[in-house]
Structure 1
Amino acid sequence: MLWAAWADAVGFISELTDESGLRHRTHGNELDGTLDWRRRIGGKYGVHADLPAGTYSDDTQLRLATARCISSSGFDVEAFARIELPVWPAYALGGGRASRAAATSMTKANATWYANFYDGWTTAGGNGAAMRIQPHVWADGFHDTYISAVIRDATVTHGHPRALLGAVLHAIALSYSLRESTTPTPRTWIDLLAAARRAVRFFRQDTDLWTIWVPAWEHHEQRSFDDAWNQAADECDALLDIAGRFVAHTPPTSDTYQTLVDQMGLRDPKTLGSGTGTVIAALALAAAFPTDPRAATLLAAHTLGTDTDTIATMAAALIAAAHPQPLPSPVQDEVYLRATAARLAAVALGEHVRPFAHPDILRWKPPTSQLDTVGLADGTPAISGLGWIDHTRQVYPSRDSVWSWVHSSFGASFLIKHRNELRELPTGNWPIPQTELSDAASRPVAAQPVPLDLFPVSTVIPDADSDEDVRHTGVTDDLDEIRSLRRDARDDDTLGRLVREAALRGNRDELALLIGAIWSHYSAP
C-alpha cells in the first residue's frame, strides 16, 4: 500500500501537464521522487494550492475509501456507494468523469449501488475502477475470494467491460505478485488474461448484478454482455502483444516506453485513461523493472501526456507486493497508510476486524452539495459520515467557499472544500467514534465469496461450458429467459407464464427478483 501511494504521489505531479507546466509545478526541481509543489485544484475556477511532498491523488483517496469498507465481514458495498463515494468529490484531487458522475448519481434518494445508471454509464470504460480495487486483494491473503468484491466495487461507478475487465485483470496480477513473490512476466500474462476473461461468470453468481444490472446493460446496449466482455478481453490480448515487445527490449528505455504508449494509444484523448490500456502499461513496467518500483514509477511519471499517476501506482503496487522495500522519500499520511495496511492484513489472516464506523444508512442523507460535506456535528467541525477534523495547514479562499488542509480523527488528511460558515450536519450524518460501532450501523451486503483456486492460474475460473460453472435452476432459469427476450418482443403471454411459474415454484424473494428483472429489462434507460 505504501509504494502504491508513493508512486501515485510522484505521478500526480506530472499528470495533465507538459514540460513547461511540470517545471512550473516543481519550481524547476528534478522530478526524482516526492517533493513540495503547487497546482490548481477545483477546476477552471479553483485555487492554486501548495501540496506538500507525498500528496497523493484520487487514486489513493479512493483506495482508502474502499479499504474503510472492508472488514472481517467482507466488503460493505452499501457503505462505499452511499457514503464514501458521495462524500469523496469534496476532497477529490483528480478523478475521472465517470467516477464523479457516479458519485453525484449516488446522492439521489433512491440510488442503489447495483442500479447507478447515470447518463453514459454503459460507456464508462476508464481506469477509475481498476485504480481503487487493490485493497480487496490485500484483504484476501491466499484465499482467492476477491473477484466478487472487485466486480461489485467496479460496477458502482463503471459500466463498460473495458473498465470492469481491467479492474479484474489488475486484481489477478496483484494477487499473483503477492502469492508468488515475483512480478508477472509476459509468459504468465496469457494465463492472467484467461482468468480475467472467465471472470464474467461471477456476474451470474451475484443476484443483484445478474437480475438488475446485466439486463439493464444489455437493454441499453442491445448486445450480449458476455460478448462485450470477450471483446474487451480480445483487445487486451492485442495490447499484451505490444507490451511484450517493450519488455523484450533490454534494458527498457524512455524511447521504447514512449513507443509502447503511442502504439497503445495512451496519449490519445479518447483512450489515454483506458481501463485496460493503463493496466497493461503497468504490467509492462512491472515486468521491465521487476524489483525496482522506483524506476518503474519515474519512467511512468516522466512520460508526459499519459495517465502518469495511475500507471505508476499500479506498476509500483505489482512490484512492491513481490519485493517489499523502504520508500525513498515521504508520502502523505504514512502512519494512516501503515495502519490501513495492517488492518487489511489482519483481515487476510482471518483475525476479527470490525468495520469502520460509518453512520446508519437508514438515517444517512447524502450531501446534495460539495460545500455541505463538511459541517458541524454538535458544534464540532466534521466530514459527513467519516470523522471530526482539525484545520492543520493553509486555507485557500474561493468565492463563497474555502479549501482547507485538515486532519481527521481517524488518521487521514484532506485538502477539502467547504463553506466559509459551516452549517450543522443532519444528525444521521454525524461521525461515529470508531470505538462505538452501533449494531444499527451499515453491514456488508455481499455475495458469498467463491474460492478461485487461483494458482495455478489456468484453473482460476472454470470454462463457460464446464460442469463447475454456475448451474441455473428454478426461478434463475426464468431470469435467463427474460434476458433473452428481444427489445421489441414484449410477449405478454411469455411474461405472464414466467411470473406464474415463479409464484408456483419459488418463494416470495425469488418472485420479487423476477419482477425486478422484468422492470429492469423494459424500463431501464
Structure 2
Amino acid sequence: MNNIQLEQIVNSALWAAYGDALGFITELADKKILKARTGLTKVTELVSWKRSIGGKFGTTITLPIGAYSDDTQLRLSTSRSIKKNGHFAIHAFSKIEIPAWQNYALGAGRGSKVAASNLSKINSSWLNNFYSKDGIDYVNGGGNGAAMRVQPHVWSASNLEDVESYLLDVIRNSLTTHGHPRAIAGAVFHALSLSYALINKSPPNTSDLRVYNKWTLKIPSLIASDSNLSTVWMTQYENSTGKNLTHEYRLVYDEINSYIDTIEEWQAGGNLKYADLASKLNLYDEKTRGSGSLTSVAASAAVMLIYNGPIEELFIEIINELHTDTDTIATMAGAILGAFIGARPSQRLQDDEYIVQDACRLFDISKNDSQVDFNYPDSMTWKNPSSIVDYINTDNGRLNFHPFGDLRVISEAFLSRAKNNNFCNQWVISPVGQSFLIKRRNVKIEESTFSEQESLIFSGDTSKKLVITTPKIAPPIISHDVDTTETSSINQDPNIDELVLAAKESNFNPKVIGEHIIIIANSILGTNGVISYSAIISNKINT
C-alpha cells in the first residue's frame, strides 16, 4: 500500500514544472540566442524572456517569469485525463487534449506536432496513429515527448509497489504519439525512477537503474497483455516495420545498459559534475540528445548529484549545459527530486496554484478519495476543427477555447509578421486555472481586466506563499460547436476481454455474441478484432 505523503506529490509536481520553466529558457539555444532571449549569458533564476515562434511569418512573444513548455503542458493534459476512479481516459487524452494542445503548444518537438495533427483526423485513434509526414514516422518516434508527461500515472497510483498497475497506462499514453521502443522504454524507466524516489524518499543508484531497465524487456509482454494493443497496435507495428517487437526492445535494453555503464565510469572518475556527465553521455549529439531512453537515464543520474550543493544549483548546472535537451532533463530530474527533498522552489511558477491543486487531486485519486473530474465534452459529439485557430471561437467578441470554456485575456496581442496580420497570439487564462498562449484570428474582442492572481503571472512576485487547497471541480464545457470541414467522433475502443466476459456470463448467447461482433467491426479494432474475439469465444466454448 502507498505510504506517500501529499507534500511529496505536490513538491514533485512543482519541481518538475520548475525544471521545465528554467530549462525552457535555454532550450536549443547557443550563447547568441540566449543573449537575445534574456540579455544574459547564463541563467541563474527564472526570468521573463522573449522568443520567436511561428517561423518566418510568426511573431516574437514575451514569456512571463516561470513560463513552462510542452513538457508541463502535456503533463497537465495527462492529469486531466485521469478520472477520479483512477481510470486513464485515453480517448479524451488522444482525441481532445492532444489535438487541442496544438493551439497553445510551446517548445514542442516535430514528432509530437505531427502526432497531434494526425490524431485530429477522423480516421485516427491512439491505437493506429502510425503517421508519416516530411520524413517523420511514428515507428521511428523515439523522442522524450512521452517520458516527459507520464508522471501523473505514478502520482495517482494507488499502490506503487504494484508496478504493472500503472506501467500499462504509461505505455498506452506513450504509444499515443511515439512508436519507437526508445520512447516507450524511456517513459517506463522514468516512471520507475520516480516511483522509487516516492517510496524510498531518496535518489536511485546505478544498481536501481539496472533493475528499472529489466522492465524494458517486459514491455512487449505488457503490450501483449492488453487485448486492444495486441490485436491492433502490435500487428500494425510489426507489419509496418518488418521487425519483431521483442527483439527491438532487447536492443534498447542493451543501449540503456551501456548508458548505465557510462554513469558508473563517471562516478568512478571522481569528477562528479553535471557537465562531465553530459560529456560522457554525449548529450550534445543532435541525433540522440532528444532520445527518450538517453534523457530519462541522464535525468536519473543527475539526481545523484543532489547532495553536492544547494538544490537550485543543480538545476542551474543542467539548464546551462547548452546544446542539450535542457528543459526535459531538468523537468524529469525535478519530478524525481521533488519526491524526497521536502522543499519547494523558491520562485513562483506560472499557474503554480493550479499545479498544486492538480497534484492534490492526483494524491486523492491514489487514496481512492477524489470527487473531482474534468468535464470533457461528450465523446460522441466532439468535433475537431480543420484548423488549429478554430479551437478558439471569437464570436460576439468573446474568446472560447474548446474544450476549456470562456477565456480571459491577460496580455497584449502579439501580431504575426505576415502582411495581412490575420492571426495573433495572446496569453489567456482558462476557467480551470491554466493559462495558455493561444493562436487566434485577429479580430476585435472584448477587453478584460486583470485580477490580482492573474497579474501575478507577469509580475514575478514571489512574496506570496502557496497553500494546499481542496481541488475544485472543473467547470462544465460551455460550447463545442466548432466550424469544421472534418469532424471526428471519438469511437470508444471496445475491450475484448470485457466483451468475452459478458458473452460468458450470457452463457454464450448467440445474440450477445453477434452484437459484440458488430461493435468490434465498427470500431478501430476492425477485422483483426473480430477474428481475435471469435477465436477467444471458440476456445472458451470448447474448454
* TM-score, normalised relative to structure 1: 0.81
Q: 1:209 to 1:161 in 2, by over 3 A?
A: same
Which one of 205, 223, 234 corresponds to residue 225 of structure 2?
Answer: 205
Q: 1:199 to 1:422 in 2, by over 3 A?
A: farther
Q: Does 1:384 align with 2:402?
A: yes
Q: 1:349 to 1:442 in 2, by over 3 A?
A: farther
Paired residues of 1:395 and 1:404 also in contact (CA < 8 A): yes
Q: 1:16 to 1:363 in 2, by over 3 A?
A: same
Which residue identity does 2:118 align to in structure 1? S
Q: After superposition, where does 1:244-323 map in structure 2 within 5 Å? A: 244-250=264-270, 252-262=272-282, 266-289=283-306, 293-323=311-341
* Deviation at residue 371 of structure 1 after TM alignment: 1.2
Q: Does 1:13 align with 2:33?
A: no
Q: After superposition, where does 1:51-200 map in structure 2 within 5 Å? A: 51-73=63-85, 74-119=87-132, 120-143=137-160, 144=162, 145-200=165-220
Q: 1:290 to 1:234 in 2, by over 3 A?
A: farther
Paired residues of 1:296 and 1:315 also in contact (CA < 8 A): no
- List per-residue Cα deviations over 1:483-518 (Å, max 9, x = no partner): xxxxxxxxxxxxxxxxxxxx9xx8764794786328
Which residue identity does 1:307 align to in structure 2? D
Paired residues of 2:103 and 2:391 also in contact (CA < 8 A): yes
Distance, in Å, in 1 between the alignment partners of 2:175 and 2:494 is 13
* Deviation at residue 30 of structure 1 after TM alignment: 4.0
Distance, in Å, in 1 between the alignment partners of 2:531 and 2:305 is 46
Unaligned runs of 5+ in 1: 424-432, 449-471, 476-502
SS in 2 for 1:198: helix
Q: Does 1:516 align with 2:533?
A: no
Which residue identity does 1:91 align to in structure 2? Y
Distance, in Å, in 2 between the alignment partners of 1:272 and 1:435 is 40
Q: After superposition, where does 1:458-469 map in structure 2 within 5 Å? A: none
Which one of 38, 45, 67 corresponds to residue 33 of structure 1?
Answer: 45
Distance, in Å, in 2 between the alignment partners of 1:422 and 1:519 is 52
Paired residues of 1:174 and 1:321 also in contact (CA < 8 A): yes
Which residue identity does 1:319 align to in structure 2? L
* Deviation at residue 416 of structure 1 after TM alignment: 1.1
Q: 1:363 to 1:508 in 2, by over 3 A?
A: closer
Paired residues of 1:212 and 1:516 also in contact (CA < 8 A): no
- List per-residue Cα deviations over 1:49-104 (Å, max 9, x = no partner): 11111000010000001111012231100001000000111111111122111110
Paired residues of 1:90 and 1:373 also in contact (CA < 8 A): yes
Paired residues of 1:290 and 1:319 also in contact (CA < 8 A): no
Moved more, 199-208 or 359-368: 199-208
Distance, in Å, in 1 between the alignment partners of 2:405 and 2:399 is 9
Which residue identity does 2:301 align to in structure 1? A
Paired residues of 2:351 and 2:435 also in contact (CA < 8 A): yes
* Deviation at residue 165 of structure 1 after TM alignment: 0.8
* Deviation at residue 251 of structure 1 after TM alignment: 5.3
Distance, in Å, in 2 between the alignment partners of 1:45 and 1:519 is 49
Paired residues of 1:3 and 1:320 also in contact (CA < 8 A): yes
Q: 1:25 to 1:210 in 2, by over 3 A?
A: same
SS in 2 for 1:322: coil
* Deviation at residue 376 of structure 1 after TM alignment: 4.2
Paired residues of 1:86 and 1:106 also in contact (CA < 8 A): yes
* Deviation at residue 434 of structure 1 after TM alignment: 3.0
- List per-residue Cα deviations over 1:243-273 (Å, max 9, x = no partner): 22224444522541342242xxx22221110
Paired residues of 1:69 and 1:77 also in contact (CA < 8 A): yes
Distance, in Å, in 2 between the alignment partners of 1:329 and 1:435 is 29
Q: 1:422 to 1:71 in 2, by over 3 A?
A: farther
Paired residues of 2:278 and 2:284 also in contact (CA < 8 A): no
Distance, in Å, in 1 between the alignment partners of 2:159 and 2:270 is 33
Which residue identity does 1:273 align to in structure 2? G
Moved more, 18-27 or 131-140: 18-27
Identity across aligned pairs (percent)?
35
Question: Size of the alignment, in residue pairs?
Answer: 457
Paired residues of 2:27 and 2:324 also in contact (CA < 8 A): yes
Moved more, 335-344 or 361-370: 361-370
Q: 1:141 to 1:298 in 2, by over 3 A?
A: farther
* Deviation at residue 107 of structure 1 after TM alignment: 1.1
Paired residues of 1:76 and 1:445 also in contact (CA < 8 A): no
Q: Does 1:434 align with 2:454?
A: no
Distance, in Å, in 1 between the alignment partners of 2:147 and 2:45 is 24
Paired residues of 1:114 and 1:209 also in contact (CA < 8 A): yes
What is the alpha-carbon root mean square deviation over aligned residues? 3.0
Q: 1:436 to 1:35 in 2, by over 3 A?
A: closer
Distance, in Å, in 2 between the alignment partners of 1:187 and 1:220 is 36
- List per-residue Cα deviations over 1:444-480 (Å, max 9, x = no partner): 97989xxxxxxxxxxxxxxxxxxxxxxx9xx9xxxxx
Unaligned runs of 5+ in 2: 1-12, 446-472, 479-488, 501-509, 533-543
